[in-house]
Amino acid sequence: MTVKNCCNGREMRGEVNVSKRLQGIVAGLIIVLVAATTVSLFVWRPDWVPSLPLFGKTATPGPKIAAAATSTPTALPVSPSPSVQSQITLVWWTPEWFSPLAANAGGQALADSISRFEKAYPSIAIKPVLKSAYGPTGILNYLQASQKVAPSLLPDLVSLDYRDVSAAANDKLLQHLNQAMLPATKTFYPFAQSAWRINGAAYLLPYTADVEQIAYRGNLVNMPPRTWADLLNNDWHYLLPTAGREGEANIAFLIQYIAAGGSLDANDNRIATQALRRTLDFYQHALGKGVFPQAVLSFATPEDAWQPFLQGDAELVEIRASRFLRERQTNIDLRFAPVPTANGDVVTVATGWGLGIVTAESKRQEAALAFINWLAGEKEMGKWSFAAKQLPTRPAALQLWPQRDGYAAFLAQLLQAAALEPVTPAQHALARSIQKALQAVLSGKATPAEAAAQAQKEP
């Protein structure tokens, strides 16, 4: 009993001692936690502290795509601060020839431009993803398919042919660009000013261009033809496409149609009957006299005519300026001139590509807009276009090209006079009607008057 009581006393005293030790430990922990909390109050500063930018924000945020236009700036308007905390990687769908991955001087020039951009805007990185220009695997088809089945795969920005912009805008694949956030419209060539908008809204910054001209052998042609009469009254052969493109008249024919008094109104598919009849009559005479060789009936693009020209099948060929730029160093005496027209007026039609924004997320839109404006700067556009042998859409960019042989001045004349290729549904319908009329005449199934009258009746 005594022993038991003794033991119980030790146990009780032990429990008291343990309890005191536990209390001491807890008290120590509380002191440490209080001290740590006190220190943290001096080290940590919340987001609202004015000396620090908000996470993912800049100290001077750039404009939003949806902001209302207040003025038309003359300088590139978006300048995101380098203090942006989060990294944005912009996915850019583009064909290889219009990318930093192109295995030529143009690719290197664009890579250098992107490198300068990323140094100026360290919070933004550019990731080009190559897509085919056209067809089932082309950029437009990929955009449409991704929107339906996998929207998360859509890029932030895209390169698009001017002809594809209407479809992309109607499918709501492109963001409406507030023009006040882009370079001033008047600093672009007139045809490019038309390419800004679809149904009155801006969806694309026109970036590249191409126009048609003629190339001729200087040792065989002393004075290039300026009018139809010059062409028909000489013993020359002239190569150009007549087979049409996707059921529409080739640009070669549209040039002549415009020069004869026709128009490519963006919202009007009515045929200028007299202009069409006059142009059809010229084609019929040129084919009958052999000025247009029979081979032109199978040529669908200017590229189809180039090899026969090199082989000596003709003294003159209608080609795109980009082809002339690539081929002018050939061994033949290659020279340039405007396309001969009814009255000798300088007329051409411009094609090209532009840059559009796809992403709907505001911060990514800001970043994409900054990149587009960077590329559209006169120096960046001038350097890339010259290296890539593509034409710029701004006169100031073309002025940066070497002016040594007069070709840049010649291009400036063509670009200033150029009409924009068909890009709207009404224009495509007009071009299809014109091509049907041309095929009827060249196949002998109708006279120029009959074919023009029939085209006039088509909706």
Distance CA 388, CA 358 (A): 25
Kind and range of the H or E run holding 113: helix 105-120
* CATH number attached to the domain at 210-350+422-457: 3.40.190.10
What is the pLDDT, as a whole number, of residue 405? 86
Kind and range of the H or E run holding 206: strand 205-217
Other beta carbons within 10 Å of 126:
25
Which residues lie below 8 Å from residue 138, measured CB to CB, with a gap of 6+?
A: 131, 132
Q: Which residue has the tokens 């033809």?
A: 225
The CA angle 213-215-220, to the nearest 5 degrees, is 145
What is the pLDDT, as a whole number, of residue 459? 64
Enumerate the H helices of 290-443 as residue ranges.
Answer: 302-310, 321-327, 362-375, 378-388, 395-398, 407-417, 425-442
Same fold, 88-209+352-398 and 210-350+422-457: yes
What is the pLDDT, as a whole number, of residue 33? 35
Superfamily of domain 88-209+352-398: Periplasmic binding protein-like II (3.40.190.10)
Distance CA 412, CA 212 (A): 13
Kind and range of the H or E run holding 283: helix 273-289
The overall longest dimension of the chain from CA atoms, in Å, is 142
Q: What DSSP line would sit under 132-196, residue for residue?
A: BSSSTTBHHHHHHHHHHH-GGG--SEEEEEHHHHHHHHHTT-SPPP-GGGSS-GGGS-HHHHHHT
Q: What DSSP line would sit under 292-308, residue for residue?
A: S-GGGGG--SHHHHHHH
Report the Cα 407 to chain-centroid distance in Å.
24
Distances in whole angstroms, Cα of residue 125 to Cα of each of 56, 88, 346, 356, 433: 15, 6, 43, 17, 46
Domain residue ranges in the chain: 88-209+352-398, 210-350+422-457
What is the pLDDT, as a whole number, of residue 369? 95
- For the entire predicted model, the pTM comes to 0.80
What pLDDT digit, counting tens, does each position of 211-242 carry?
999 999 999 999 999 999 999 999 999 999 99
Spell out, as residue ranges, where the chain has pLDDT lower than 50: 1-85
Environment class of residue 243 by beta-carbon count within 10 Å: exposed (0-12), middle (13-18) or buried (19+)? middle
